[in-house]
Structures are given as structure tokens and as C-alpha cells.
Copies of this chain bind each other. A is one copy, B any other.
Amino acid sequence: MKTTPIGIAAGFALIFGAIFLGDGWATFFDPASLIMVLGGTASALMVAFSIDELKLGLGGAKQLFSFKPPDLEHYVTLFAELSRTARREGLLALDRQIQQCDDPFMRMGLEMAVDGIEEQEIDDLMRGRIATETARLALTPKFFNAAGTYAPSFGMVGTLIGLIQMMQNLTDPSAIGAGMAVAMITTFYGALLANLVFLPCANKAKAQMNDLLLARDLVRTGVLSIVRGESPSMVEKRLRLFLSEQTEAAPAENDSPLKKAA
């Protein structure tokens, strides 16, 4: 279930539904105000990030809608199988199975295992790879967090401009209300964009990043287990720790777990 587009659509429907039911909904559609908020935010983001970072940050934004969390269960089964092969036929026998592997990070680790590189070295190199990937993946939440900070600020800048313009002309009292209404539209846009789009998206991008990094860590642990020649059951036991067992663990919190045990 794709919560990101549903949440954004539901939020906008709710807010603009309320606006349509009220008076003067036309005021709320002010392209010039929207351009000021979005343009100001975009300008600030251009100053804050380099061109490469902007590309990566925006590129990662697409993932927000299409992200599928890595199937950790699948990885566990796969590594148990690989360790069985390695035990029976030696590490070199993994070579064939590596060809079928779609995950370049897992392939990199297994290839090093087959090449006979020692455990500590493989660990170092895989960690280095994860560190570089983390730095890249962290750009998307950073980018959205920055957008969520700048949008309300430029909303306020727009409101200040509107108020200053209006106040010079206080002699016509009938214009005051309309002037203030228009001035406040930018603050409204900034607050809505930040709280319904930018900041929540930053949160989700970070959660998706953590999902990916958990999978990377599972793969690293699995490769090292195979290099150490652990038994398939031990490999599975170890990797299964990365999966959260909701059904089994829940009762342990609900009541004092030792009542009967004593």
C-alpha cells in the first residue's frame, strides 16, 4: 500500500474541501504567491546544495512513491542455501549462484569470498561501500528537510511583503482586509507544503534509507558468516535476528513474563 501519495492526496482534499465549503475560495488560488514560495524555496535549495546533490536529492524523491522494502526473509533463505552449498562443495561452488544474484552489493561480497580475500578485509571493504552509499542516500531526507525549513520562511517573507505594501495604503479601510488576506496566502502555502509534503517526505525518505541499510547489514553479516564457514542453521539463526518477529514477541510485553516460570 502506497501511503505517500494517498497521504498527500487525502491531506490536500481535506484542506481544500474545507476551503471550498467556506467563503471566498478564489482567494486561496494565487499563482503569484505560490511562485514566490516555491521559487524562493528552490533558490535557497540551489544555494544550499551543489548541482550533483540536487540531482541525487531529487532523484531519490521519485523513490518515495515506488519504493519496495527489501525482502529480508528472502535474503535469509538465500544465505542459508548458499551456506549449504559452501559447506558441501566449498566456497568456489558459489561462483555459479553469484551469476544469478541481482543485488550488486551481495555479488561484490560473495565474489570477494570466492576470491579468497580474508574475512577482516571483506568486512572493511563492505563497510566502506555501505558508508559511501549511506552518504548518497542521506541526501534525499536532507534535501526535503531543507525544503521544509525554507518553505515557511519564504511564506513569511511573502506575507511581510504583502503587509508592507498594504500598510502604506491604510487610508482606504475597505482594502485592508483583502490586502491582509492576500498577504497571508504565502504563509498558508509555506505551512501546508512544509507540513504535508516536505517534512513528512523527509521522514519517509529516512525510513526507506534505514530499510535499505538494514538489508545491506544483513548481507554483510551473511557473507561474513559464509566466509567463516558457519553451519546453515547458525547462518539462518543469525540473519533471522534482523527480522522483527512481531507475533512471537508481543505477548512478552503484555504481561509479566515470569509469572508461571517461577
**Interface residues, chain A, CB within 8 Å of chain B?**
1, 3-4, 6-8, 10-11, 14-15, 18-19, 21-24, 27-28, 32, 35-36, 39-40, 42-54, 56, 63, 66-71, 74-75, 77-78, 97, 100-106, 125, 128-129, 131-133, 135-136, 146, 150, 153-154, 156-158, 160-161, 163-171, 173-174, 176-178, 180-181, 184-185, 187-188, 191-192, 194-197, 199-201, 203-204, 207-208, 212, 237-238, 241-244, 246, 248-249, 251-262
Query: Which residues of chain B have C-beta atoms less than 8 A from A146's C-beta?
Result: 203
In Å, the complex CA distance between A160 and B125 comes to 53
- 11 A-B pairs besides A74-B262, A132-B242 with CB distance below 8 A are A3-B50, A6-B46, A10-B43, A14-B36, A15-B157, A22-B161, A27-B165, A40-B196, A103-B257, A106-B257, A163-B181
- Which residues of chain B are near A23, meaning CB under 8 Å? 165, 168-169
**Total copies of this chain within the assembly:** 5
Tell me, in angstroms, the Cα distance from A146 to B154 when the chains sit together: 20
Q: Give the chain B neighbours of A256 by CB distance below 8 A.
A: 68, 70-71, 74
Interchain CA distance A48-B11 in the complex, whole Å: 12
> Once bound together, how far apart are the Cα atoms of A4 and B54, in whole Å?
12
The residue of chain B having its C-beta at the shortest distance from the C-beta of A74 within the complex is B258
A70 CA to B201 CA in the complex, in Å?
31
Across the interface, do B133 and A249 meet the contact criterion of CB distance under 8 Å? yes
The residue in chain B whose Cβ has the minimal distance to the Cβ of A256 is: B71
Q: How long is the Cα–Cα vector from A97 to B63 in the complex, in angstroms?
A: 45
Q: Which residues of chain B come closer than 8 Å to A19, judged between CB atoms? A: 161
Q: Is the CB of B207 within 8 A of A11?
A: no
